[in-house]
Structure 1
Amino acid sequence: MRIGNIDGRAVVLTGSTGAQRAVDIAEASGGRFGPDPRGVFEDWSEFAQWATKAEFGPGRAVDADDLGAPIPDPRQIFAIGLNYRDHADEAKLDPPDDLVVFTKFVSSLAEPNATVALPSDTVDYETELVVIVGRELHKATPEEARSSIAGYAVGQDYSERTVQLRGPAPQFSLGKSFPGFAPFGPAVVTGDELADPDALRITARITGPTAEPHGGSWTVQDGTTADLIFSVERILADLSQIVRLYPGDLVFTGTPAGVGAARGIFLRPGDVLESTIEGVGTITNTFVAS
């Protein structure tokens, strides 16, 4: 199942890319669920049971630009740093023994195909698998954490590196929370839609000025979520030992190697970045001067 957001209403998306259709959840359920996108996840267990038996009508045709952030107002957004060994290596840092955690403030959320204004010439990209929490967790085991996952999405953790790294102490959350710095989507995809949720190819491709020396198109990241240092259930379980996770919370799980800072590049006006996770989808962001 694929759950999206159109005009602030929760929808089930059917069909293939380029021929998607949307069924309004509130209308299809007679008002039992929806229309609030986050509300679907707050009642996730009952909604999922209903949805497996529901007969959805044909719905209406959907254009990619119709889709908003699948959950536009999560209570909390967590992000995990240095969660791929190859990314730790390119950052010249030791792989962590414990989670490296920061937040992206809710005001940084954006629709999957957002146009992003660059506040400086030191903005970087990080393609990430986003996990969506489907029930409240606190002091959970990894097994309990795994069963709490509602679904997965593609996310970008854009970073203004100057703000992020300025002293006297780094400002990760501020540097990663400019408007538009957390686009995600195109939908929340449930695990049954994926061949193996723990081994998904994850790529990022730039076209535009930054890619001109590479023939106009440059695949800058190409990894697999099988290389996560901390698995998704370990991330949720470890977070829950300290904080309380709520339905609809988002967890950005880290990025593989190939980020701009390691390559000596940053995003420029006119660039277009396509971020893809196998089976989950693609989000496309265009960059303009602030």
Structure 2
Amino acid sequence: MGYSLVRFAQPGNEQEHLGLLVDGRIKKLEGQINSIIGDWSSWEGELDRMVSSGATDDWLDAQTVTLLAPVQPAQIIQAGANYRTHVIDLAVSHKKEGEDEAEVRAATALVMDKRAQEGLPYFFIGLPAAVAGPDEELELPHYSKTHDWELELAAVIGKRAFRLTPEQALEHVFGYTIVNDITTRDLVFRKDMPAIGTDWYRGKNAPGFLPTGPWLVPAKFVEDPQDLTVQLKLNGRIMQDESTADMIFTVAQLVSHASWNMPLMPGDLVLTGSPSGNGAHWGRLLRDGDVMEGSITGLGTQNVPCRDEVR
């Protein structure tokens, strides 16, 4: 039987706890999430035995607690432009007047196919302070009306990973969770300094801009990270609905390349990019009162309500 790890708080008590989640029931555990991840060889057998015993007398109903982000990363590595269809859609949205859409799609597809064979992933850095719980209210900063969603599969590093090959990479992945990488579109490209290019610090790292969870699922319960469905609904309407098979660079390739510059440590996150269907594609960005429902196969569902910042 599969299980997940969660972090949670109980009503009337701000203390944070670690838990083992099985079929909607939570067994409270002692310790910190990164300690368990880093010492998984000692914990795995014990948790397996807890689950196989079937004893749930002192387990909590998951509906009675508040789930927090299941991870506490020291480093967050984010991959950009890593879904083929998403990049093609972006190229179409930025095509020049008079350009034929079919020709733009075909030309971009060829570029992406070549990039997959010969290119490298594109990475930037996220801030741990932006991590929020899976159902935590997202405050939309007042300085823009261009906040957008980007639901992503996130790989959680299990042991020190430095200069790995793709063949070694998945052995260093502890498990997987969901992250919605919120982006303020009009801040991404610096209008005052166009030669510098993108400004990911201001475009992505406001408080709560990385809703994470609800669960951290050990890798042994995820048969193939390249065969999962990433789906985001906005107020019940499906906006993103794509397979991770559409990635240009696989999870193994991303973890490998991310590990070549700096060592990745237990608990760190490698975000794998957003599939097609962002708000910029639909011409519909986040507004006060919106609710985002994000899910990935086997990793649970997060429900994030949005409200405008109160100044």
After TM superposition, the score normalised by the length of structure 2 is 0.82
* Aligned: 1:204 with 2:232: yes
2:43 equivalent among 35, 47, 58: 47
Gaps of 5+ in 2: 10-15, 92-107
Percentage of matched positions with identical amino acids: 31
Residue identity opposite 1:263 in structure 2: W
Q: Distance in 2 between matches of 1:48 and 1:170?
A: 42
Which structure has the greater CA radius of gyration? 2
User: Which aligned segments of 4 or more residues in structure 1 are displaced greater than 3 angstroms?
Assistant: 53-57, 93-96
1:23–1:56 Cα contact (<8 Å) kept: no
2:156–2:268 Cα contact (<8 Å) kept: yes
User: Superposition pairs for residues 83-162 of structure 1, below 5 Å?
Assistant: 83-92=82-91, 94-95=111-112, 96=115, 97-119=119-141, 120-162=144-186
2:8–2:65 Cα contact (<8 Å) kept: no
Q: Distance in 2 between matches of 1:239 and 1:91?
A: 24
Give per-residue Cα distances to partners, 1:94-113, cap 9 Å, x unaligned: 53521111121111000011
Shift of 1:166: 2.3
Shift of 1:218: 1.7
Q: Distance in 2 between matches of 1:157 and 1:176?
A: 7
* Aligned: 1:253 with 2:257: no
Residue identity opposite 1:134 in structure 2: G
When residues 56 and 247 of structure 1 are mapped into structure 2, their CA distance, relative to the original with a 3 A threshold, is farther
2:230–2:244 Cα contact (<8 Å) kept: yes
Shift of 1:195: 4.6
2:86–2:275 Cα contact (<8 Å) kept: yes
User: Superposition pairs for residues 187-226 of structure 1, below 5 Å?
Assistant: 187-207=215-235, 217-226=236-245
1:9–1:37 Cα contact (<8 Å) kept: no
Q: Distance in 1 between matches of 2:64 and 2:221?
A: 19
Give per-residue Cα distances to partners, 1:49-83, cap 9 Å, x unaligned: 33223447411111276110001x31101110011
Give per-residue Cα distances to partners, 1:144-203, cap 9 Å, x unaligned: 211111111111000011222223231113311101100111110123333533200111
After TM superposition, the score normalised by the length of structure 1 is 0.88
When residues 65 and 161 of structure 1 are mapped into structure 2, their CA distance, relative to the original with a 3 A threshold, is farther
Shift of 1:261: 0.9
Shift of 1:262: 1.8
Give per-residue Cα distances to partners, 1:212-234, cap 9 Å, x unaligned: xxxxx321111001111111111
2:77–2:258 Cα contact (<8 Å) kept: no
Equivalent in the alignment of 2:27 = 23
Q: Distance in 1 between matches of 2:37 and 2:54?
A: 19
Quote the RMSD (CA, aligned, Å): 1.6
Q: Distance in 2 between matches of 1:76 and 1:57?
A: 37
When residues 226 and 190 of structure 1 are mapped into structure 2, their CA distance, relative to the original with a 3 A threshold, is same
* Aligned: 1:172 with 2:200: yes
1:44–1:135 Cα contact (<8 Å) kept: no
* Aligned: 1:77 with 2:76: yes
Aligned pair count reads: 268
Q: Secondary structure at the match of 1:186?
A: coil
